[in-house]
Amino acid sequence: MAGDLFYWLALNFVPGVGSVFIKRLLDRFETPEAVFQASMKELLEVEGLGLKVASEIKKGPSEQAVKKEISLLEKSGVRMITLKDPVYPPRLRDIYDPPSLLYLKGDLKKEDELAVSIVGSRKTTPYGRWITEKISQDLARHGVTVVSGMARGVDSVAHWGAISGGGRTIAVLGCGVDVVYPPENRNLFAKILEQGAVLSEFPMGSPPEGGHFPKRNRIISGLSIGVVVVQASADSGSLITANFALEQGRDVFAIPGNVGVEGSRGTNRLIKDGAKMVESSEDILEEILPQWKRGKERVEEVKPRGPELTEEERALYEMLGENPLHIDVMIRESGFEPGKVSSLLLTLELKELISQWPGKCFSKKM
């Protein structure tokens, strides 16, 4: 593996060879080592690869620089995941320009395939913090991994919400995974490692440069089934993530804000352009649940976390039988609030214990 890692890093360090070219090179030659062994003629047969980049590949990067990076990885306990690695996130691998290498601290798990990104303004209001925390907590409690960028504001609140909800969260950085940015998020960084993972495509020690963040945003959306935008101005970086999501075929959700307020212009425009308006986590779950069930045909089944059924979930579950029962009957007979019943039914659907029928009717899965 050490030898393989050397060639992966070497290819990643070649000037002018970005994610798209690496993907094309691997489609043609299969391994990074084979890329370096290819002739100039063979390299020039790769779509879009010109003489300058082909020459850089033949020259190769500094062997000293690659060995230094490997040493830093070993000292920092950072794991490297390659595009060909079985644990590379399948959803991310399918985008147009997946990163060839992911630097990883913490752990990626199969259940992280059910993931939603939450992004938004660095300058958030009390309302923005409240709704972000509530939605991220609720998603985490339903077994959804929350992905964000660990920036100030909405991103940080989203990670903390998932952590307090007892779920998993993934931070994608615009710097090296050994760089904590912003520095006040040191405690958050440590908590994320306990309940998720920190990822980056940038080499060790890379500073948080402005040009890194748009590249980071495509990974945030690429890991997710959908992207939720909270409090974004008209020129917010969060809208870049939303645009990547649309290009990648992901769902885009937006929290509505006050009309005329600068921090709401971006989210309100997204809703006007067709993003799904979100008032609660149920709006998100109702949209992603059918997709997740279809998607599970190509990935290993994800088991729900926590106890199989809570007391309230069991109370509703035991009301149901083979014949569909209307939600109003369950509300009346359970004594629960309507919103509570809807939330419990969504959870039972996620656990694949019940089926929903037209007209808000439900039955047990037989």
Which pLDDT tens digit goes with each residue over 122-143?
888 888 999 999 999 999 988 8
Do 281 and 135 meet the contact criterion of CB atoms below 8 Å apart? yes
Q: What is the pLDDT of residue 208?
A: 94
Measured CA to CA, the distance from residue 142 to residue 313 in angstroms comes to: 12
Single residue among 291, 322, 350 that ends a domain in this structure = 291
**Length of the chain, please?**
366
Q: What is the pLDDT of residue 366?
A: 64
Domain of residue 330, CATH code: 1.10.10.10
Measured CA to CA, the distance from residue 266 to residue 313 in angstroms comes to: 38
Q: Do 276 and 321 share a structural domain? A: no
CA distances from 199 to 54, 117, 261 (A): 29, 14, 34
Measured CA to CA, the distance from residue 20 to residue 30 in angstroms comes to: 14
Q: What is the pLDDT of residue 299?
A: 39
Residue 200 lies in a domain: yes
Q: Give how many domains the chain has, as a whole number.
A: 3
Q: Do 229 and 118 share a structural domain? A: yes
Q: What is the pLDDT of residue 184?
A: 96
Q: Do 205 and 69 share a structural domain? A: no
For residue 215, give the amino acid letter: K
Do 120 and 229 meet the contact criterion of CB atoms below 8 Å apart? yes
Q: Phi/psi at 175 (nearest 5 deg)?
A: -150, -175
CA distances from 146 to 169, 228, 262, 301 (A): 5, 10, 26, 19
Q: Take residue 56 and report the two structure tokens written for it.
A: 């850089």
Q: What is the pLDDT of residue 206?
A: 95
Q: Phi/psi at 149 (nearest 5 deg)?
A: -110, 10
Structural domain for 43, as ranges:
2-75
Residue 85 lies in a domain: no
Angle between helices 281-295 and 338-350 (to 10 degrees): 20
Q: Do 56 and 142 share a structural domain? A: no
Cα–Cα–Cα angle for 26, 32, 36, rounded to 5 degrees: 110
Residue 94 lies in a domain: no
Q: What is the pLDDT of residue 60?
A: 82
Measured CA to CA, the distance from residue 130 to residue 116 in angstroms comes to: 18
Look at residues 91, 107, 110 and name the one whose alpha carbon lies nearest to residue 300: 110
Q: Dmax of the chain from CA atoms?
A: 75
What are the residue ranges in the chain where pLDDT is below 70?
1-3, 260-263, 290-308, 366
Measured CA to CA, the distance from residue 267 to residue 261 in angstroms comes to: 11
pTM of the shown model: 0.78
β-sheet bridge partners, residue 354: 364
Burial 218-256 (b: 16+ CB within 10 A, else e): bbbbbbbbbbbbbbbbeebbbbbbbbbbbebebbbbbbe
Q: Do 235 and 179 share a structural domain? A: yes
Measured CA to CA, the distance from residue 173 to residue 198 in angstroms comes to: 7
Q: What is the pLDDT of residue 308?
A: 65
The residues near 39 (Cβ < 8 Å, ≥ 6 apart) are none
Domain of residue 123, CATH code: 3.40.50.450
β-sheet bridge partners, residue 79: 104
How far is residue 358 CA from its own chain's centroid? 31
